[in-house]
Amino acid sequence: MAIKIIRQDITKLKVDAIVNTTNPSLDAKGGLDHYIHQLAGKELDVECRRIGKLKVGQACLTSGYKLCKYIIHTASPVWSEDNYLIKALLESCYN
């Protein structure tokens, strides 16, 4: 299978699923996460509240509502140069 790299706003692509990096609370407080929630609609917020919290490195699947078919949410760590576990936690978000 060929891989194609596209540099573009993921919310503008016609795809079945997008991957959203989020905080463990799934509450879309800012950045791209917030923008994805706005475009998908309030139903996404309701579904994320029903799911609750994720551990850093965990992922969950929701409907994409108005944005796409599915959204894969992965809880990423907050960057800290002092935290030696950040690299392993960040890697676990994408495995």
Catalytic residue ranges: 33
Give the CA angle between residues 77, 80, 85 to the nearest 5°. Answer: 60
How many Cβ atoms are within 10 Å of 3's Cβ, its own excluded?
A: 4
β-strand partners of 73: 20, 60
- One-letter amino acid for residue 62 of the chain: T
Which two tokens mark 81? 């140069």
Cα–Cα distance between 25 and 49 in angstroms, integer? 8
